[in-house]
Structure 1
Amino acid sequence: MIDTDELVKRNAGFASDGSFAHLKLMPRGSLTIIGCVDPRVDPSDVLGLKLGEAAVIRNVGGRVTPATLRTLGMLSEVVRSRTGGPGPADYHYAVLQHTDCGITDLAAFPELLADYFDVPASGLDAKAVTDPVAAVRVDVEILKRDLRAGVFVSGLVYDVATGLIDVVVPPARVEA
């Protein structure tokens, strides 16, 4: 077990070099990743991101859910309050899902998934819960409908067996 004493020790090592001291609230890479909570798929490690390069939202399956959209809306307001505008025009939102995801086990619990996605159980097929490639496409389309025009959206699938990502949906600008 990793207890709090161990966490404090690890944190002291992190804090000792002070590399975090000049980081800004806004990610310097103009990037938000939506990814899964699976510990094998930490977006920072998988994508080689450094602290402060991207904002990362993690949930079960790395899915774009109503809660994810609310979180993105709140983050947009933080950006507005900090910058006085909508943020960089070249902002990039990337959906990162993966193979062998535990969300596929939840297909046996349609009521739970229906609640998660805020859809009737009869609408779950459209969410492609058992197919990460199709699920990425579904979620990218949701983002394209919900995000402001001009930003970029892409979709990636990480293969937990090879460690490689596949670009399922290349970055595309959201149209007005």
Structure 2
Amino acid sequence: MNILDSMLERNKEFAAQQIAAGTLMPSLPKAMPNVRATIIGCADMRVDPVHILGIKPGEAVVIRNIGGRITPVLLEELGLLGRIGEVAKEAPGGGGEFHLVVFQHTDCGITRLAGDPAKLAHYFQIPEGEVNSKSVTDPRAAVAGDVALLRTIPGLPGKWLLSGLVYDVATGLVEVVVPPAPIRAA
């Protein structure tokens, strides 16, 4: 049995358990009925925000990329999600409180690229001379920088709460680096 076969078997077990428990989500009538957060996290397989934060189906949109960083591609994805909500006439958070969370971690693989500024410049779509501003070796500084960057994006609703977290892969604990606050003051 190869890895795909194994995953498909586990999926059958998952589906059977969900059906038996009555928790399998049917086709939802709205694009974002229960979403209360969007979490921007790292693609690292050890750092799944759904598992670490106990997120239930429908509670959050999780977008993962290398380093859990704010990149031009990620900003496009946020814009498309916003447009989906507009077309569906469904606001994230159902008009209530909504959180945008930057979720990074210790021992991130992106730190191994610190000596390859050309690769990082290409990834972040910035000039090579600006790579140091992206702080890949310090997750706390990276979170703070990415939160600050998100505060400058005029298309993000000012009333959304924005925060920054760092997960420690050695302890399993999450540290609040930037406490939740509105993206922009009212």
Query: TM-score by structure 1 length?
Result: 0.92
* Inter-partner Cα distance in structure 1 for 2:173 and 2:27: 29
Q: How does 1:69-108 map to 2 (within 5 A)?
A: 69-83=75-89, 88-108=95-115
Do the aligned partners of residues 29 and 74 (structure 1) sit closer, same or farther apart at CA in structure 2, a change above 3 Å counting? closer
The one-letter code matched in structure 1 to 2:70 is V
Q: Which residue of 2 aligns with 1:148?
A: 157
Tell me which stretches of 4 or more aligned residues in structure 1 moved more than 6 Å.
none
**Residue identity opposite 1:150 in structure 2:** K
Larger deviation, residues 136-145 vs 80-89: 80-89
Partner of 1:7: 7
The answer to which of 73-82 and 7-16 deviates more is: 7-16
Range moving further from structure 2, 52-61 or 24-33: 24-33
Q: Which residue of 2 aligns with 1:44?
A: 50
Match in the other structure for 2:174: 165
Can you give the 5+ residue segments of structure 2 that lack an aligned partner in the other structure?
Answer: none
2:124 to 90, 94, 117: 117
Q: CA deviation at 1:2?
A: 5.3
Task: Kindly provide the CA deviation profile for residues 34-84 of structure 1, in whole angstroms up to 9, marking residues without a partner as x.
Answer: 000111100011111122211000000000111110000000001111125
Structure 2 CA distance, aligned partners of 1:85 and 1:167?
26
Distance 1:133 1:58 in 2: 18
Q: Give distance in 1, aligned partners of 2:36 and 2:119.
A: 34
Say whether residues 1:21 and 2:28 are aligned partners.
no
Q: 1:3 to 1:89 in 2, by over 3 A?
A: same
Q: Look up the equivalent residue of 1:36 and give its one-letter code.
A: C
Q: Count matched residues.
A: 176
User: Which sits farther off after the overlay, 80-89 or 12-21?
Assistant: 80-89
Q: CA RMSD in A?
A: 1.8
Indicate the percent of aligned positions where both proteins have the same amino acid.
49
User: 1:98 Cα shift?
Assistant: 0.3
Q: Which amino acid aligns with 2:167?
A: Y
For residues 103-130 of structure 1, give each alpha carbon's deviation from its aligned partner in whole angstroms, at most 9, with x where no partner exists. 0001111111001111111101111111
Quickly say closer, same or farther: Cα 1:111–1:89, change in 2 above 3 A: farther
Structure 1: segments with no counterpart, 5+ residues: none
TM-score, normalising length: structure 2: 0.88
Q: d(CA) in 2 for partners of 1:83 and 1:115?
A: 36
- Equivalent in the alignment of 2:63: 57
> 1:2–1:33: structure 2 CA closer, same or farther, 3 Å change rule?
farther
